[in-house]
Structure 1
Amino acid sequence: MKDNTINEILSQLPSSNKPIIKVLKKGTDSKTIVLGLKEGITLKEHKTNIPTTLLVIKGNVVYKEKYREINLESFDSLEIPTDVIHSVYSLEDSICLLIQG
């Protein structure tokens, strides 16, 4: 069955003034989340207690922790450490996958 989640987020980006977050797939031990960020939007500081990979599939974002910033472009990925406060800022309209578990 075809899933339109990412296309739905792309269509919502131009008029959004906050992150768009939707679960793409959820299993017993894992979850894949789609994160849409319009240019200039920040996913505010938070932390996770689940091992998570951030994968940029379109755009350009900056992953920020207290003492480091990492620029990620399309097809770049990053392991997000657990229990570390971080945020994600979009330099251009971006779509990311958060793969947890």
Structure 2
Amino acid sequence: MTIKEIKAELETATHPIAKSLHHGTGFKVLIMGFRKGMILQEHKAHTPSKLTVLEGTVIYKEENRVLELRQYDEVEIPLEITHSVEAMEDSLCILSQGE
């Protein structure tokens, strides 16, 4: 019910919502929900990560590149590089982290 919970919480949220979908030794999978205009502020990934858009459109920004990601697009997030994500429309993403 993780995705349904995120969608319900987004109705009144003022920031992106993230919840664990699955985790284990050395990895985790998060679902992240955004309403249009929400921004996941600049931060760094400390483990190998991949962002995949399930619904909507987001702008992924890092130091020297800006990518528009639509449904089913994905991006490998480099280690220790400052990046952010902005929702261009209501969006749902999956973030996988780990080796």
TM-score between the two structures when normalised by the length of structure 1 = 0.93
**Unpaired runs of 5+ in structure 2?**
none
Structure (1/2) with the larger strand percentage: 2
User: Which digits, 9 at most, give the CA deviation of each residue in 1:4-50, with x for residues without a partner?
Assistant: 00011112222211010111111002100111111000000000110
Listed as ranges, the matches of 1:45-64 within 5 Å are 45-64=42-61
Q: Is the 8 A contact 1:13 1:93 kept in 2?
A: no
TM-score when normalising by structure 2:
0.95
Matched with 1:38 is: 35
RMSD: 0.8
- Aligned residue identity for 2:13: S
Name the aligned partner's letter for residue 32 of structure 2.
Answer: L
Contact 1:57 1:75 (C-alpha < 8 Å) held by counterparts? yes
Residue type at the aligned position of 1:7: K
Instruction: Indicate which of 77, 82, 87 corresponds to 1:85.
Output: 82
Deviations 1:41-81 (A, max 9, x none): 00000001100000100110000012211000011111000
| Structure 1 gap segments, 5+ residues each | none
Judge conservation of contact 1:58–1:96 (CA < 8 Å) in 2: yes
CA contact (8 A) 1:9 1:20 kept: yes
